[in-house]
Amino acid sequence: MFAPGAGRPLAAVGAVLVVVGALVAGGFVPDRAVSGAVVAGVGALWVFFAIFFRDPDRAPGGGVVSAADGRVRGVEREGDRWRISVFMNVTDVHVNRLPWDARVESVAEAGSGYRPAYRPDADHNVQRAYRFATSLGTVEVVQMTGVLARRLVSFVRSGSEGRKGDRFGMIVLGSRVDVLLPAARATPTVRVGDRVRAGTTTIARENP
């Protein structure tokens, strides 16, 4: 299964691959080494996009689940909220999922620049913040750009409702997703360095 929006780039690269293959088969590229390299290069690009846009079905995990695939880069208390930050590599699944049953209150743009997502000053990068109304109170999820990841995609808008694990957006080519939880209602269960999967890995438990 592929993420929404994957059809266009996959079809475009596939069409190029067909054209290049036809040119090679027709003898229009006589140098075998060159023709082989071109076909292999275009084929590898199609495989890369197919892997990048993969979107496997997943059953939601327990507790508050991760919004992104990747590695936990930060678990920090900020006043009355916990911030759990996940860094996404280019090889991770890039579809983001709801950490809890929620209704979208707002989707807002902020920030400027495209610093490496692992740096502290990346907090000021171009980003998209989703404010969710949940049974835990207000939960915020922030999609953040990086050096290569400059396209933020939303599948929801204000007023949308969803269940834990539902898809709400994606980031093209990696970067970072932060989940901010009310400290009075939830306690983190992950540590820096842990690997997590969107929609399935528990990152926090609801306080009794």
pLDDT tens digit string along 172-188? Answer: 776 899 999 999 999 99
What pLDDT is recorded for position 160? 96
135 is catalytic: no
> Of the residues 66, 85, 160, 175, which is catalytic?
175
Please report which confidence band the pLDDT of residue 19 belongs to, taking 50, 70 and 90 as the band edges: low
Going through 36-174 in order, the beta strands assigned E by DSSP cover 64-65, 70-78, 81-88, 95-97, 102-110, 127-134, 137-144, 151-154, 161-162, 167-172
For the segment 27-32, the average pLDDT, to the nearest whole number, is 60
pLDDT tens-digit series, residues 55-86: 889 999 999 999 999 999 999 999 999 999 99
What pLDDT is recorded for position 149? 62
Q: Taking the model in full, what pTM does it have?
A: 0.79
What pLDDT is recorded for position 91? 84
Query: What b/e readout covers 37-75, taking b as 16+ CB neighbours within 10 angstroms?
Result: ebbeebeeebeebeebbebeebebbebbbbbbbbbbbeb
Is 201's pLDDT higher than 70? yes
